[in-house]
Amino acid sequence: MDAARLEAILSRYEGEPYDLIPVLQEIQDNYGYLPKDEVKEVARRLNVPLTQIYSVATFYKMFSLIPKGRHQVKVCLGTTCHLKGGPRLVDSLSSRLGVEVGYTSKDGQFSLETVGCLGSCAQAPVMMVDDKYFARVTVDKVPKILKLYQS
Ligand code: FES
């Protein structure tokens, strides 16, 4: 645990149990996920039950309990994208990256997740890598897209 880094965050929220989400968000932004030791310390310092923190952390998609990869791959599985091949993209990415949805590849390069409608239904199926959108993605295009991010 990086005590100094955590202290810098927690010192701003001491004794404020209702600020749980902003605290977790800051930790997520700093560490890229919610490390177990840091979560325990948050529970102790804010006097919030550990179960409540895990309940919040698993409810909101913005939080992750596992380290995120260098690149975040998100496949839209909203209704339109689902109908136009989103699940096939998920299978292809999962197999090529060797990672299940919700996890990070062993080399730490890619995290794979599915998301609800990204607001570009006319271009379905849609996926994102980090902040970049890819429209009308077919399974054939997946290797080319990944290659842009593989180092
Ligand atoms: S359903 Fe995928 S962008 Fe809307």
pTM of structure: 0.73
Burial class (CB in 10 A: 0-12, 13-18, 19+), 61: exposed
Q: What phi, psi does 74 have (nearest 5°)?
A: -125, 125
CA of 59 to the centre of ligand 1 (A): 21
Under CATH, which architecture does the 71-147 domain have?
A: 3-Layer(aba) Sandwich (3.40)
Residue 66 predicted with pLDDT over 70: yes
Model confidence pLDDT, tens digit, residues 74-104: 999 999 999 999 999 999 999 999 999 988 9
Helix (H) / strand (E) element for 76: namely strand 71-76
Alpha carbon distance 107, 67 (integer Å)? 12
Alpha helix segments (H runs only) across 62-140: 79-83, 86-97
In the three-class reduction of DSSP (H, G, I as helix; E, B as strand; rest coil), residue 110 is classed as strand
pLDDT band at 61 (very low <50, low <70, confident <90, very high): confident
User: Which atom of ligand 1 is the closest one to the Cα of 82?
Assistant: 1
Q: Which residues line ligand 1 (CB under 6 A)?
A: 76, 78-81, 117-121, 124, 126
Question: Residue 109 Cα, ligand 1 centroid: separation in angstroms?
Answer: 25
- Residues paired with residue 115 on neighbouring β-strands, in sequence order: 76
Contact present, 52 and 91 (Cβ < 8 Å): no
Which atom of ligand 1 lies nearest, measured to the CA of 118?
3
pLDDT at 6 over 90: no
The model's pLDDT over 39-51, given as tens digits with 9 standing for 90+, comes to 999 998 888 899 9
Q: Rounded mean pLDDT of 118-131?
A: 96
% of the chain beyond a pLDDT of 70? 96
CB 77 within 8 A of CB 90: yes
Indicate where the chain has its CATH 3.40.30.10 domain(s). 71-147
Kindly report the protein residue whose alpha carbon is nearest to atom 1 of ligand 1: 78
Give 82: exposed, middle or buried? Use CB within 10 Å, 0-12, 13-18, 19+: middle
Distance of CA 78 to the CA centre of its chain: 17
